[in-house]
Structure 1
């Protein structure tokens, strides 16, 4: 598509957008000086679905009227509540229902999966991850390698971009995997890097890891609900994600787990056990001897978090109604591409502003990361004061994430106008 830098063009795109009415299914926060904010921070916290409160209220009512019997009675008995999320969750991440379960929170789930899939030996003990991964992942890996008696400095190998570049090349990731060879125990990377917004080639990374005998997993916090995923077909071993970003399921919301079906019927696979992961047909016999459920459900520990799950189910219903990830991706590529087009028209030198997110739409999701070399915090603060909700990451990156479910092309146009003013460029220059 040939973009035009005018408000009329943005309005035209909105009029043609088959998802335009989904914006009305969310609450848009107010701007400081009235009207709706331009919310471009779904990569940190998605907006509240208008159906979320009613979904939670339904379970409050069940609790009020049935108390403990709500586990077994009512429209959605709590005993099986997590099962009602499996089909929609599987579609979001490209899995089979047996391979997914919703439970716990993200870093808890990462630890649970690493117990099973990071099984180091004296010679195969190394972990490969991207340099500058989100701190929770770094901390989790540090503690896991220490748990097995290894030094993080020796066991954890961090991938760095080439000099002068901001993102990783797939061929360099593959080469490092081959170099580590039979010393590599597992690869654990973000599906999308939180800082740069780069989408990693998860299929290629998985093939390379398996070729040297390593397990391969992904933290999909910034990928689930953002880009189409095909975890089963890519042969990924394990993955986990949060649901409060692009899946709009509330602050601190519940998490999802994927375990490939090849592990579904391996009860002897080491894991940390809890009673909700025990064979459901015998769970209430209260006997010793853990027998895991088949599939990802066998990694559960405790009862489902019903109130967060209710909100998550409401949010998943919206994704389904929108036509799933392929429909969201089509709009996402246009939205992000339009924002990129408008920012590039600023024609600022690289010494002032760089977009460090890949230019290839296939290598990015909703997010553009702007590396601001001069007065970055001032630019961010001016955007915030003008009603643009973005995200600041030290030392000098502004992340902008236009989300297809609730952002419009007019949002993107107006954000670019305000960015222009923040850089002290006349707004008219954007239109010429």
Structure 2
């Protein structure tokens, strides 16, 4: 039997990573996007965002002829047996709900061109119930009708580890009632199944819930330890030691139990808000009402970081100089969506400070979104003459910074460790006033 040919609709972070990695697994892959600039970049072997290891995988498979990119839906429909939907589902501008316009646009463009039986597998994070609506639309619009069979397979990518998480995921989930869809996913995942990676087949609604449920749980765990940070600050306790003590309980564990500035990015914030919005539509809003406080705790950590920095320099930012280390929402990424670091930086700038930001990868994106801030090309440049330094994204470069070297450049030795990633004793030994969220 001939090997299935794959298309990937949407070449943002998820789609570009998925397309390259499917080719790495040996499949012939055609990636599609309506953005010609993005397609030209990928076709030339350039990834339009920062993701360690992805450019090497992309170029290896372009050279091998297993991977191509296009803007032509006719070409995709003719080429592929299996189509992956990997388009974005951002938060709507007028509510907390997910914006499904990119999903709907992809369906409306692909469906009329499907003249032979095909498998469509959604990977985009969507509100539960979306897949059933999408399936009905394919059956109505596609010339082949019910010959289009749909499944949903949520993605579990961590930015900075996208290649690893695609090639060696910790589980593969496919929601479908179609034997053909299940067989297609088993063919695609055969090498991973042989490695012992769990392969779960569920109904389609359960599969839609997996990703948002996982993100809601992780967000809750992060906000729980940050709530304990609030209590620790009031009580004079040390939330870092508290988290360490909790981590030895194997029912809790230490992952996502790092107190600090909180979560951001393009997934957790918008996913938990969309989850709440969908629960409300389903008439079960009270079931997820706790997520409102999860979100609120996360936002309060940003405000508390600003308060700590203000206190270190005498109670006001007007006329002060502030150095900010970090712009991306997490290290090993250039993603600034809902970045806590940039939120704090812009808040401080609005209160009268001159704020200079440095990040190893996210500066260009940050400049576009926050032109009111100043930007440096190095950590040392960012902290020069600063009255207070804020470490807000835990890049290794910042974690390993030499406090003695930085002390020669700043106006005052004040540092706020927004990620609880620095060694407090080392910084204090070099006469820095060190403050961190949830610690004495």
Q: TM-score, normalised by structure 1?
A: 0.30
Choose 1 or 2 for highest CA Rg.
Answer: 2
Between the two structures, name the one with larger relative contact order (CA 8 Å, sep ≥ 6). 1
Q: TM-score, normalised by structure 2?
A: 0.30
